[in-house]
Amino acid sequence: MVYFGSPSFLGNDITNMNEEVLEIITNKELIALNQDKLCKQAEKVYDKNDIEVFLKPLKNGDWGVCILNRSEIEQQFKLNWDHLGIKVNKLLAIRDLWLHKNLKTFFFIPLFLRIVIKHSYTILYNDYR
């Protein structure tokens, strides 16, 4: 998985890839998260009811967060900062690395984020101090 900072290998026929696979393996934002200069692997910080949350510290002080839904159905999840074990300061910006778009910027820090997860959800958390 891209969140763990491991080398990326392909075990498929690269001459016959569909668009979905090509989009995943060429996602520059996910590759940058994987290859961050801090070289830290993500750690599982939450695991309950088929939802797993992984946290990866980044060299510039940001955090990569992966929320993984292991069930077959869409689930709602309340991401509590306590799940992450990090202190959130001042301005908070959140970006979806799969969709390549900024989701939300908070000028105050909410106690939690409510997220609907189909399968996997990766965000980049920026804490502007």
Tens of pLDDT, residues 42-84: 899 999 999 888 888 888 888 888 888 888 888 888 887 776 7
* Closest C-alpha among 105, 101, 97, 98 to residue 126: 105
User: What was the pLDDT predicted at 128?
Assistant: 46
CATH number at residue 68: 2.60.40.1180
**Total domains present in the chain:** 1
Can you give the residue range of the structural domain that contains 69? 2-128
Q: Supply the pTM of this predicted model.
A: 0.76
| Four-residue CA torsion sign, 93, 32, 36, 57 | positive
